[in-house]
A and B are shown apart, each in its own frame.
Chain A
Amino acid sequence: MQSPISSNDAAMSQAIGHGDGHGEHPDLRMLGFTLFLISEGMLFVGLFVAYLTYRAAAPAWPPAGTPELEKILPAIFTVILVASSGVIMLAERALKHGDMGQFRLFWLLTTAMGTIFVAGQAYEWMHLEFGLKDGLFGGTFYVLTGFHGMHVVIGLLLQAVVFFRSFKTNHYTPASHFGVGASSLYWHFVDVVWIFLFALLYII
Chain B
Amino acid sequence: MVETTQQRVEQRQPEPLGDWRRYFSFCVDHKVIGIQYLVTTFFFYLLGGALAMVIRAELMTPGAELERSLYNGVFTIHATIMIFLWIIPTLAGFGNFLVPLMIGARDMAFPRLNALSFWMIPPGGLLLLSSFFVQSGAAGAGWTSYPPLSTQQVQVGDLLVTNFGQVIWIASVVFLGTSSILAALNFIVTIVAMRTEGMELFRMPLFCWATLTASCITLLGTPVLAGAVILLAFDLLLGTVFFNPTGGGDPVVYQHMFWFYSHPAVYIMVLPAMGIISEVLPVFSRKPIFGYKAIAISSMGIAVLGFLVWAHHMFTSGTPDWLRMFFMVTSFLIAVPTGIKVFSWLGTIWGGKLELSSAMLFAMGFVSMFVVGGLSGIMLASVPVDIHVHDTYFVVAHLHYVLFGGSVFAIYAGLYYWFPKMTGRLLNETWGKIHFALTFIGFNLCFLPMHQLGLQGMPRRVAEYAEQFQSLNVLVSIGGFLLGISTLPFLFNAIYSWLWGPKAPANPWRALTLEWTTASPPPVENFEYLPVVTAGPYEYGTVGSSPEGDTPTAISQPKS
Do A and B belong to a common assembly?
A: yes
A-B pairs with beta carbons under 8 Å apart, 29 shown: A3-B22, A3-B25, A5-B22, A5-B524, A6-B29, A8-B524, A10-B28, A11-B3, A18-B107, A18-B108, A28-B109, A28-B193, A31-B192, A32-B113, A38-B219, A39-B219, A39-B223, A42-B221, A46-B227, A46-B228, A50-B242, A50-B256, A58-B248, A132-B234, A132-B238, A133-B239, A136-B249, A139-B234, A143-B231
B133 within 8 A of A: no
Which among A6, A10, A42 is the interface contact of B223 at CB below 8 angstroms?
Answer: A42
Evaluate contact between B227 and A50: CB separation under 8 angstroms. Answer: yes
- Chain A 1-43, CB-CB to B under 8 Å as 1, else 0, gives 1111110111111111011000001101101100110111111
Interface status of B146 (Cβ within 8 A of chain A): no
Q: Decide yes or no whether B226 CB sits under 8 A from chain A.
A: yes
Cross-interface CB contact of A53 among B11, B111, B253, cutoff 8 Å:
B253
Complex CA–CA separation, A13 to B33 (angstroms): 15
Asked if residues B110 and A29 are in contact (CB atoms below 8 Å), the reply is yes
CB neighbours (8 Å) of B53 from chain A are: none
Chain A's nearest CB lies how many Å from the CB of B268? 14
A196 at the A/B interface (Cβ < 8 Å)?
A: no
Interface string of A45-60 (1 = CB under 8 A from B): 1110010011001100
Cα distance A114–B458 when bound, in Å? 58
Whether the Cβ atoms of B111 and A9 lie closer than 8 Å is: yes
A26 vs B238: C-alpha distance in the bound complex, in angstroms? 47
Q: A16 to B19, Cβ gap below 8 A?
A: no
- Residue A67, interface by CB 8 Å: no
Q: Are A47 and B111 in contact (CB-based, < 8 A)?
A: no
User: Distance in Å from the Cβ of A145 to the closest Cβ of chain B?
Assistant: 14
In the complex, what residues of B have CB within 8 A of residue A65's CB?
none
In angstroms, Cα B220 to Cα A41, docked, is 9
- Rounded to whole Å, the gap between the CB of B159 and the closest CB of chain A is 22
B11 contacts across to A, CB distance below 8 A: 8, 12
**Stretch in B182-190, B277-285, B539-547 with 4+ CB within 8 Å of A:** B182-190
Task: List chain B residues, Cβ under 8 A from A9.
Answer: 27-29, 111, 524
Give Cα A35–Cα B257 distance, bound, in whole angstroms.
Answer: 21
List residues of chain B with CB within 8 A of the CB of A35. 185, 188-189, 219
Contact partners of A39 in chain B: CB under 8 A = 181, 185, 219-220, 222-223
Does B260 lie at the interface of the complex (its beta carbon under 8 Å from any beta carbon of A)?
Answer: yes
State whether the Cβ of B123 lies closer than 8 Å to any Cβ in chain A.
no
CB-contact partner of B224 in A8, A10, A42, A139, under 8 A: A42
A46-B260 in contact (CB<8A)? yes
Q: Could you tell me if A136 and B242 are in contact, using CB atoms closer than 8 angstroms?
A: yes
Count residues on chain A whose CB falls below 8 Å from chain B CBs: 47
Query: A9-B29, A11-B4, A45-B224 in contact; A36/B185 too (CB < 8 A)?
Result: yes
Task: Name the residue on A nearest B114 (C-beta).
Answer: A18
Q: Whole-angstrom distance from the CB of A174 to the nearest CB of chain B?
A: 23
Instruction: Point out residues on B near A: beta carbons under 8 Å.
Output: 3-4, 7-8, 10-11, 16, 19, 21-22, 24-29, 32, 106-111, 113, 181, 185-186, 188-189, 192-194, 219-224, 226-228, 231, 234, 238-242, 247-250, 253, 256-257, 260, 524-525
Given A13-B111, A39-B223, A2 contacting B242 (CB threshold 8 A): no
Enumerate the 10 nearest inter-chain pairs by beta-carbon distance, A residue then B residue, closest first. A46-B224, A43-B223, A46-B227, A6-B27, A139-B240, A42-B223, A35-B185, A3-B25, A19-B109, A3-B22
Evaluate whether A26 and B193 lie within 8 angstroms (CB atoms) in the complex, with A42-B223, A135-B247 already known: yes
- A2, A8, A143: most-surrounded residue (chain B CB, <10 A): A8
Across the interface, which residues of A come within 8 angstroms of B113, CB to CB? Answer: 32
Q: Are A43 and B220 in contact (CB under 8 A)?
A: no
Find out whether the CB atom of A32 lies under 8 angstroms from the CB atom of B189.
yes
| Cβ–Cβ contact A136 & B223, under 8 A | no
Q: Which residue of A lies closest to B110 (CB)?
A: A32
| Additional A-B contact list (6), CB under 8 Å, known A50-B242, A139-B241 | A12-B7, A28-B189, A39-B181, A47-B231, A50-B253, A50-B257
Chain A residues near B188: list those with CB within 8 A.
35
Known: A28-B189, A31-B192, A135-B241. A3 touches B248 (CB 8 A): no
B524 & A12 in contact (Cβ 8 Å cutoff)? yes
Say whether B240 contacts A133, CB under 8 Å: yes
Instruction: For B19, give its contact among A3, A32, A143 (CB under 8 Å).
Output: A3
Interface centre among B10, B26, B224, B240, by most chain A C-beta atoms within 10 angstroms, is B240
- Report the Cα distance A8→B12, complex, angstroms: 12
Q: Which residues of B contact A36 (CB under 8 A)?
A: 181, 185
Q: Residues of A contacting B32 with CB < 8 Å?
A: 6
Distance A50 CA – B230 CA, assembled complex (angstroms) = 13
- Least CB distance from A138 to B in Å reads 8
> How many Å from the CB of A54 to the closest CB on chain B?
7
Rounded to whole Å, the gap between the CB of A41 and the closest CB of chain B is: 8
Query: Max chain A CB contacts within 10 Å: which of B26, B185, B256?
Result: B185
Partner of A1, one of B21, B193, B194, B234: B21
Cα–Cα, bound, A57→B318 (Å)? 14
- A19 adjacent to B16 (CB under 8 Å): no
Closest beta carbon of chain A to B183's beta carbon, Å: 12
Interface string of A110-140 (1 = CB under 8 A from B): 0000000000000000000000110110011
A16 & B525 in contact (Cβ 8 Å cutoff): yes
Point out the residues of chain A lying under 8 angstroms from B224, CB to CB.
Answer: 42-43, 45-46
Q: How far is the CB of B227 from chain A (nearest CB, A)?
A: 4
Given contacts A11-B3, A12-B525, A39-B181, contact A6 B26 (CB under 8 A): yes
B317: min CB distance to chain A, Å: 13
Contacts of B25 in A (CB 8 A): 1-3, 6
Determine whether the beta carbon of A5 is less than 8 Å from that of B28: no
In the assembled complex, the Cα of A19 lies from the Cα of B240 at a distance in Å of: 45
Residues in B with CB closer than 8 Å to A15 are 4, 8
For the complex, give the distance between the alpha carbons of A15 and B224 in Å: 39
Which B-chain residue is minimally distant from A1 (CB atoms)?
Answer: B25
Q: How far is the CA of A161 from the CA of B249 in the complex (A)?
A: 41
